[in-house]
Amino acid sequence: MTINKSIYLRASKQDVWAYLTDPDKLAIWFHKPAKTLASGAPYEMFGTESGDKLMWGEVLDAEPHDLLRYTFTIKPMGDAVSTVTWTLQDVPGGTRLNLLHEGLPAGEAAFDLTLALDKGWDDHLGRLRADIHAG
């Protein structure tokens, strides 16, 4: 299964990149890693309120201001590993941010997980948009 989403942000690619890689910015809209996301490095992200480890993986590619790709695993996925790819594109007035979440468990039994992740990404992207536009 694959989830694909795009949003437009009134912000530069550099500003959007910070929201994708900087722990303090990630904590605003997503989950907080212990360190900045960098190519080739493992990561773990924690709940900003609970402190619980929520997701983990490895950063596969980090091309500043253009592309960020990492493996993505959460407890409900068991041993399954998926891949999240963010691409940033200049557009007049701001940035187009695309999310591609690939390799999710397939089949009817896994559909509830896909629905939960789909809604989760909508919620997270809404918080990202609200914060970046408030600044």
**Domain regions of the chain by residue span:** 3-20+58-134
pLDDT of residue 72: 96
What's the rounded mean pLDDT across residues 28-49?
94
What's the rounded mean pLDDT across residues 52-74?
96
Average pLDDT, the chain: 95
DSSP codes, 64-120: TTTEEEEEEB-GGGTT--EEEEEEEEEETTEEEEEEEEE----SGGGHHHHHHHHHH
Say what angle helices 111-134 and 13-21 make with each other, to 10 degrees.
Answer: 130
Q: Half-sphere exposure of 41 toward its Cβ, with a 13 Å CA cutoff? A: 13
pLDDT of residue 133: 97
pLDDT of residue 78: 84
The CATH code of domain 3-20+58-134 reads: 3.30.530.20
pLDDT of residue 79: 84
pLDDT of residue 11: 98
